[in-house]
Amino acid sequence: MKDPVTEEKITPFLETKWAGRHLVCFVETDSTNVRIRQLSREGAPHGTVAVAGAQTEGRGRRGRIWQSPPDSGIYMSILLRPDIDPDRAPMLTLAAACSTAGALDRWKKGASVQIKWPNDIIINGRKVAGILTEMNVRGGRIDYVAVGIGINVNRREFPEELQDKATSLYLEWGCPVQRAYVVASVINHLEADYETFMKTRDLSGLKEFYEGILVNKDRDVVICREQGSYPAHALGITKTGELLVRRAEGDLEAVFAGEVSVRGVYGYV
Ligand code: BTN
């Protein structure tokens, strides 16, 4: 389905003061996170958004590729210049997960939109969107943060190896979705959630929403570290975004996202 994501189509739906007010749209680019790095070097303001119709070098977490075919997905990144310590920046990924889930939930048809800790967006147990946050630090302070969001929108099929893990809005909702509306809605939510985050410089103001849609909450999970895996029971998150779990021997542990991945006992969630 040809449905270009252009400034003219997105801007009428923006309800923001600063987010997306500088909007750069590409028919195709390497990676919108790379475009944000470039735009930041050129002095682009806080809240600048890069959106692409396709990516040739889409990047996922843990060095993975993010498949970014034309016309069927949303590939967008926002430039943030928060005055926070660099070690707080990973929390912005969880804030962006709230924004993405909040935006998609608006069009909910049937199954709820959920979050798999820390930042996979899930519908019906399959991943519909992912978030990759990258930052540059200069002199110990944040120069910029690029929060990149990829959403499978009108994709009709996935390669066999992804079929039980990945889904799209089209496959879940049974109808094509206009990407410009979704982009604008994500930007609207990002501005509001960022402002909530900056009031306390942590996730205190977003924790209740996040935990309300956290697919892992009150479930048995497997914590996967480089050194090995162990079972635990997920209780929620801390206000700094760690997953709070109870280990089999009864100890509580706050698990930091940079060090581990989490899966369900029976599979992906
Ligand atoms: C993940 O692995 O779950 C994160 C995927 C993030 C993909 C988005 S698409 C827009 C931005 N540009 C990229 O190259 N990656 C992010």
CB atoms within 10 A of CB 218: 10
Q: Say if residue 176 is preceded by a cis peptide, omega within 30 of 0.
A: no
Atom of ligand 1 nearest to the CA of 64: 2
CB atoms within 10 A of CB 231: 12
The length of the chain is: 269
pLDDT at 149: 98
Ligand 1 pocket residues where CB is under 6 Å: 31-33, 55, 58-61, 64, 66, 75-77, 120, 130-132, 148-150
Atom of ligand 1 nearest to the CA of 76: 10
pLDDT at 268: 74
pLDDT at 107: 67
pLDDT at 108: 62
pLDDT at 110: 67
pLDDT at 258: 76
* Residues of the chain scoring pLDDT < 70: 1, 107-110, 265-266
List the end-to-end C-alpha distance of the chain, in Å, as a whole number: 31
What is the rounded distance in angstroms from the CA atom of residue 68 to the CA atom of residue 71?
9
